[in-house]
Structure 1
């Protein structure tokens, strides 16, 4: 967005009282005698603001009045990281310049020269996003040397918008594209990230540290990345909001890749409004049209409603009876708010599952070679494979690198067979959403974003066959996970998906769904599930 559009968006949000787009949420500490310890004490900010529940519009309104500074907010998050992160191991490092960045924002606010909604807001970055002043490792010891020479494009946009780059979040090493049976949330650089709700459970997906950090209120917003499920699954499993934008809205430049055909960075937050505001800064495209129609500005400033909205529910009973029961209850609550909910099954899913992985192997070989050529350390995939063979630290949780080896042997992306495969993937994935939405006249397709978190186990690896993310991920269409409820203390998200570049409309619908379900609750950091399930 242009700076003028960003300023208008912030002003409109504050004037319209859209901080209410995220429901008022009391923090829920453990009851006396409840299983497990009470959650850590909440860091208090001026005027009783709570890091668990405060929104960006509320923070900006107070900074504008002078009753809050970015320095105070940043210190509060740094103190909370120090106090809480040892339980979950989500933050790899904090920026040594974070307080200096915050002081510069305070000076701009005093001059009336704030740069927009993220000016002074602390942001965590997934550790596959290049920063010139901090290491960017993708979780691998192979990249643990000197930082990249330059920032990723999205980091430059955040800095230009005045955001405080608070630090780097742990992630699944190489975005879970190394071993056949990886363990999400583990990296050789950062160790294992835990689910804040139940500490022996997994955080899911490669943006695991970003999601767990947000659930524990260690930053206001975070940036994750997704190829297929790595924003929306950890968001669902950690009880936060995650938006996978339409492909191309956010620049891929300076991000450790899997596939240029599917990779995108996206915002993660504790509420939809904060995610929308973060997208407005991350986006490499102006989402506000010249005529003001159908843009993000309209989408997040007009009062959202579910009345008359048509939502197709893709139930996915394979995720278990308890998740299916939660979806039944979710559909009932949406219908009670005036939405029309019909059951759907998007077509072509078996074929997508058959084609996606072999296509990604070819694309990974091409794209990781190009990225490694810009960094110190292994110069290509073959050298990276050899590095892992000779460094024991890369094998402390799981030893395999079968995906690397398969990618090295995969056909090149110039191969006609590969090209036909990717063309069919694009066609079928887009048709799976477009045809379903057209047949039922839908505003969005909804499905469970995740099952209840499984127990983390390096020997077994993940239990994460979660098909709901695939259609939008392969199509390059937007998807959004919002909290739907819990199963035995473990959060489950509702995944919403829509057509290409319908990000603004999807975020507006997501805000209305979020208000209706009001499913967020603070984690209690239980050592294990009280049911033993």
Structure 2
């Protein structure tokens, strides 16, 4: 946690720094939410015990990770209220009493929401984000806020993922000098270290699925509009979505069932989050669903290196052994998508960040943010640049005909990229590596994170799911599964079957560094 962050209540902390408390009879690394709910229903576990254990683990483990910015001082009170509901038989849903961490670009009225920037580090927002309201209504315990890449990695041309002026640098739990990928770095690292049962991340392009892959956990980027954007610090309303992250697909799916907003609550800029066909309950993967007869297209991406390519070869073999048909594919139009996406995001960021800042105390617009960063040296302690801010300020407005044509072409080509590939090969999903092995964190160099697998689904607004695929040395690599529009439930079911076959998760060892064979 950052030096100025509130600490858990004394009753929640272990007696010695560095101790990671455990819950008797429960393996927090592998337990699922339904298993926890069964224990709470039987009276063998309380939400207060579970919450206290996670708070203690944050105190004991997080000083090595800097994944959690702050804990909610009301967490144990929330847990006690859940325990009272469990005793009355009035449980509110699958997350009642389950501790959840939120990325710190998701508005909470009870805690600051900073997007990692000192510019927003004052008073909390006036209201919760819609997705937080849904979590509270479902009885989830809001445990705290996680660190992130400042402004979701949309400030500097060469940022360092997982760094923010508020929280410092988040470290990868598997190898501490390696990067956690951005921008949901803190959420993913916290889950890998079992500091909460589930977490919320956000993505514009890759910021859920890359951290999930690089930290060895599960992350879903839902279909655009399935989770309300209201109360989430934006980059672009055309691509932004919050999404669930967990150590297993079941918990990821159950969290989606709580935070999804098919009833159509208002988006920023007056739009509504329309109901998405095919996403009704139940979200949990069907236990009997397997891979026999499934067709999966493997997009290899050899640019991520020979170790990742070898891992994909082994993954394909295991999927075939389980009865799936795996064919190699290369989705079209990738160069054109890469050329069009960034300029469109610049225009959209200027529009959407100005609208968001108007709801907060602090700088009132993008120009104000730029001046704030120039006058606050702490904002420049890792990297000085704010080139993306400056380019966005000068970008054409979203009313510009050239911008509108570019966004229309982006939407068309990204959807065709996926739809045509699925149809040509009769696929259930496209699979690709979610990330390279984690690179060393280096403020002077910045990131080494060109990972094109996330872009088609991110731009199209289609769902994508990262599940653990294996390791290159000590470093996790995820398998990214992408499906067609509004196929979130089918994708989660397929991801659950893939997860059961690969069984690739293992707990981190918090190594200080690793050998040159895995260095990138």
Change (3 A) 1:510 1:42: farther
Asked if structure 2 preserves the Cα contact closer than 8 Å seen for 1:42 and 1:52, the reply is: no
- Alignment correspondent of 1:148: 125
Q: How far 1:43 moved relative to its partner?
A: 3.6
TM-score after normalising by structure 1: 0.90
SS in 1 for 2:282: helix
Per-residue deviation, 1:129: 0.2
Match of 1:44 in 2: 22
Kindly report structure 1 stretches of 4+ aligned residues shifted beyond 3 Å: 40-43, 292-296
Q: Structure 1 stretches of 5 or more lacking a match?
A: 1-39
Per the alignment, residue 246 of structure 1 pairs with 223
Q: How far apart are 1:530 and its partner, in Å?
A: 3.2
Could you say which residue in structure 2 is the equivalent of 1:418? 403
Contact 1:266 1:279 in 2 (8 A): yes
Counterpart pick for 1:79 among 36, 56, 69: 56
Contact 2:354 2:366 in 1 (8 A): yes
Q: Deviations over 1:288-309 (max 9, x none)?
A: xx9x977441762352200000
Is the contact made by 1:296 and 1:505 (CA closer than 8 Å) also made in structure 2? no
Give yes or no for contact 2:279–2:488 (8 Å, CA) kept in 1: no
1:260-311 alpha-carbon deviations (Å, 9 max, x no partner)? 0000000000000000000000000179xx9x97744176235220000000
Contact 1:245 1:266 in 2 (8 A): yes
SS of alignment partner, residue 300 of structure 1: coil
Q: Which residue of 2 aligns with 1:382?
A: 367
Return the alpha-carbon distance in structure 2 between the equivalents of residues 358 and 254 of structure 1.
Answer: 24
Quote the Cα distance in structure 2 between the aligned partners of 1:121 and 1:366. 36
- What is aligned with 2:167? 190
- Per the TM alignment, residue 531 of structure 1 is displaced from its structure 2 partner at its CA by 3.9
Does the CA contact (< 8 Å) of 1:198 and 1:529 recur in 2? yes
1:400 aligns with 2:385: yes
1:317 aligns with 2:295: no
Cα deviation code 1:286-342 (max 9, x no counterpart):
79xx9x977441762352200000000000000000000000000000000000000
Shift of 1:467: 0.1
Q: Given that residues 488 and 531 in structure 1 are in contact (C-alpha distance below 8 angstroms), is that contact kept between their aligned partners in structure 2?
A: no
Q: CA RMSD in A?
A: 1.5
- Pick the aligned partner of 1:106 from 70, 83, 88: 83
Per-residue Cα deviation, 1:351-371 (whole angstroms, up to 9, x for no partner): 000000000000000000000
**Superposed displacement of residue 239, structure 1:** 0.1
Give the conservation status (yes or no) of the 8 Å contact 2:467–2:499. yes
Picking from 135, 153, 161, the partner of 1:158 is 135
1:131-187 Cα shifts (integer Å, max 9, x gaps):
001000000000000000000000000000000000000000000000000000000
Cα contact 2:222–2:243 (8 A) shared by 1: yes
- Contact map agreement 1:185 1:204 (CA 8 A) in 2: yes
Q: Which residue of 2 aligns with 1:336?
A: 321
Q: Is 1:211 aligned to residue 195 of structure 2?
A: no
- Matched residues in 2 for 1:520 and 1:444: separation? 22
Q: CA deviation at 1:51?
A: 1.1
Q: What residue is the counterpart of 1:93 in the other structure?
A: 70
Q: CA deviation at 1:41?
A: 7.0
Q: Is the 8 A contact 1:131 1:151 kept in 2?
A: yes
User: Do the aligned partners of residues 169 and 395 (structure 1) sit closer, same or farther apart at CA in structure 2, a change above 3 Å counting?
Assistant: same
Q: Tell me which residue corresponds to 1:442.
A: 427
1:227 to 194, 204, 218: 204
CA distance in 2, matches of 1:340, 1:169: 39
In 2, are the aligned partners of 1:472 and 1:478 still within 8 Å (CA)? Answer: yes
Distance 1:278 1:63 in 2: 18
Q: TM-score, normalised by structure 2?
A: 0.93
State the number of aligned residues: 490
CA distance in 2, matches of 1:62, 1:286: 32
CA distance in 1, matches of 2:291, 2:30: 23
Please point out which of 447, 460, 465 is paired with 1:480.
Answer: 465
- Distance in 2 between residues matched to 1:387 and 1:295, nearest whole Å: 44
Residue of structure 2 aligned with 1:490, choices 449, 452, 475: 475
CA distance in 2, matches of 1:517, 1:413: 44
Please say if residues 196 and 523 of structure 1, whose CA atoms lie closer than 8 Å, have aligned partners that are also in contact. yes
Question: Would you say 1:124 and 2:124 are equivalent positions?
Answer: no
> How far off is 1:45 after superposition?
2.0
